[in-house]
Amino acid sequence: YGFPYKEAPKTYIRKLTLAPSVEAFQLLRKGDSITLTWELSEIAVADFSECVQRTWEYCYDTNRPQPVNTPYTVDRMKDVLSNFFVESYVNTTPTHYYSGVELKTATCASTDVAEVGFVGRTLLNAFNALEYGFQQNRPELVNSANSIFDTYLSSGFSPAGFFNEVVHYNRDFKEPKLSIRRQSEGVYAILNYLAYEKQHKRKHPEWEKRLKVILDSFLRLQNADGSFPRKFKDDFSIVDGTGGSTPSATLPLVMAYKYFKDKRYLESAKRTVNYLENELISKSDYFSSTLDANCEDKEASLYAATATYYLALVTKGAERAHYAELCRKAAYFALSWYYTWDVPFAEGQMLGDIGLKTRGWGNVSVENNHIDVFIFEFADVLHWLSKEFNEARFSDFAEVISTSMRQLLPYEGHMCGVAKVGYYPEVVQHTNWDYGRNGKGYYNDIFAPGWTVASLWELFSPGRAEQFFSKK
């Protein structure tokens, strides 16, 4: 580690791209002084998992991150974000959708791309819009959400019965490579939708049939070790056998067990966690959950923590305690991606001028080195772990995350560098590593607010999983 920062003879600014060397300095105004102290720490631990835990605890206790003083309540956040459901809605295609992929930050104009999960999340956004529309008496949100569910039911499936994950309508192109992650996120959204509808005495037997086809295909895809291939085709041939996305399937499998009362899905979910324990958690190797990188990433550990949390919610006794312990181990790795300090920005950089505090934001992966608001249900996991293990750091830091991720809310007079109200920014660049365009202190010029809105909406809708499993 060096201070001030220097990278030479070349600097690495994006995948496979080198640039001239760079040197950065600590800003000292006239009359200011600074003291730099190095501290060496040595600890004895049982394994790398405990090393990560102790290191995170040390960093947390040293930096003592406090909630960010943002003026936005949860109600205010949802009110502003709901404009995304209004302005991004596309109803001129066979499946209606919220346009949240491949948008330009400068215009936020809708594109022809409909994506079920990953960065599009159109089905989860539809559920959120439906629930919110009923709560707030906003029929336009209810109607658009229902049209998305209805058109996906009629036109959103492949010949084998999987979701058409990514469709480019202008080119009449459907992505032939399917993924366990997008399929899982689609099933997760529909199960939330069906449970909500059932609660309000509305039934959808055709959707239930469609989901059973996908879920039974999951059972067919699952490997002997409990893992799922990351990518495959409609004929079940394997494109990418990497198992890093496996925990994304655990969530809908546990939910399907509860909803359909079919123990096959629970057994499949337990087998996924056997794989997670053997290949990810015990080896401290959380890799390749994202679909665009082959590396260690935040989402693999975050999904592993959420998967084991789901199983803990539906089991008892020693089995429940075992899943809780696995959840805690994975959670420390997910937490290690979240900043406990505020990255400095130079004067004149947009994010610095806005006053962005980076504490509570998470880095993405060792290949995509920007920060974002990927959180979804992880705050619920942290609050649950806090009670389960009497560890206040978890719930306290969840509050840091919750407040900090509100900072870039775009509304009139406070657009934060994007063109439309509620289109929450995605690729937030806080280092010299440049994810496409513009570099530190700015966003990339292309972004996907589909998932950022969905992530923040789940953050601000606490207790969903526990409520789902508590329903009769």
pLDDT band at 146 (very low <50, low <70, confident <90, very high): very high
Question: How much is the pLDDT for 412?
Answer: 98
Query: Burial, 18: exposed, middle or buried (Cβ in 10 Å; 0-12, 13-18, 19+)?
Result: exposed
Mean pLDDT in residue range 221-228: 98
Higher pLDDT, 472 or 37: 37
3-class secondary structure for the chain?
A: CCCCCEEEEEEEEECCEEEEEEECCCCCCCCCCCCCCCCCCCCCCCCHHHHHHHHHHHHHHHHCCCCCCCCCCHHHHHHHHHHHHHHCEECCCCCCEECCCCEECCCCCCCCEEECCCCCCHHHHHHHHHHHHHHHCCHHHHHHHHHHHHHHHHHCECCCCCECCEEECCCCEECCCEEHHHHHHHHHHHHHHHHHHHHCCCCCHHHHHHHHHHHHHHHHHCCCCCCCCCEECCCCCEEECCCCCHHHHHHHHHHHHHHHCCHHHHHHHHHHHHHHHHHHHCCCCCECCCCCCCCEEHHHHHHHHHHHHHHHHCCCHHHHHHHHHHHHHHHHHHHCCECCCCCCCCCCCHHHHHCCCCCCCEECECCCCCEECCCCCHHHHHHHHHHHHCCHHHHHHHHHHHHHCCCCCCECCECCCCCCCCCCCCCECCCCCCCCCCCCCCECCEECHHHHHHHHHHHCCCCHHHHHHHCC
Return d(Cα 42, Cα 62) in angstroms, integer.
15
Return d(Cα 352, Cα 121) in angstroms, integer.
30
Return d(Cα 217, Cα 243) in angstroms, integer.
17
- Neighbour-count burial for 73-100, b at 16+ CB within 10 Å, e otherwise: eeeebbebbbbbbbebbbeeeebbbbbb
Question: How much is the pLDDT for 185?
Answer: 98
Question: How much is the pLDDT for 119?
Answer: 97
Residue 324 in this model has a pLDDT that exceeds 90: yes
Q: Which of 88, 123, 120, 87 is nearest to 102 (CA)?
A: 120
- Answer yes or no: are the C-beta atoms of 230 and 288 closer than 8 Å: yes
Mean pLDDT in residue range 311-321: 98
Question: How much is the pLDDT for 47?
Answer: 96
Lowest mean per-residue pLDDT among 72-76, 209-213, 286-290: 286-290
Residue 156 in this model has a pLDDT that exceeds 90: yes
- Answer yes or no: are the C-beta atoms of 309 and 389 closer than 8 Å: no
Residue 2 in this model has a pLDDT that exceeds 80: no
Mean pLDDT in residue range 438-466: 97
Give me the sign of the Cα torsion angle 275, 281, 287, 289: positive
Question: How much is the pLDDT for 420?
Answer: 98
Question: How much is the pLDDT for 1?
Answer: 60
Mean pLDDT in residue range 62-78: 97
Question: How much is the pLDDT for 451?
Answer: 98
206: how many CB neighbours lie within 10 A of its CB? Answer: 11
The residue with tokens 């934060």 is 416
In the CATH hierarchy, which top-level class contains the domain 6-25+51-470?
mainly alpha
Q: Which of 371, 338, 400 is nearest to 52 (CA)?
A: 338
pLDDT band at 366 (very low <50, low <70, confident <90, very high): confident
- Answer yes or no: are the C-beta atoms of 303 and 248 closer than 8 Å: yes
Instruction: Give the pLDDT confidence of 163-183 residue by residue, as tens digits.
Output: 999 999 999 999 999 999 999
Residue 446 in this model has a pLDDT that exceeds 80: yes
Instruction: Give the pLDDT confidence of 92-136 residue by residue, as tens digits.
Output: 999 999 999 999 999 999 999 999 999 999 999 999 999 999 999
Domain residue ranges of the chain, discontinuous segments joined by +: 6-25+51-470
- pTM: predicted TM-score of the whole model, two decimal places: 0.97
Question: How much is the pLDDT for 291?
Answer: 87
Residue 471 in this model has a pLDDT that exceeds 90: no
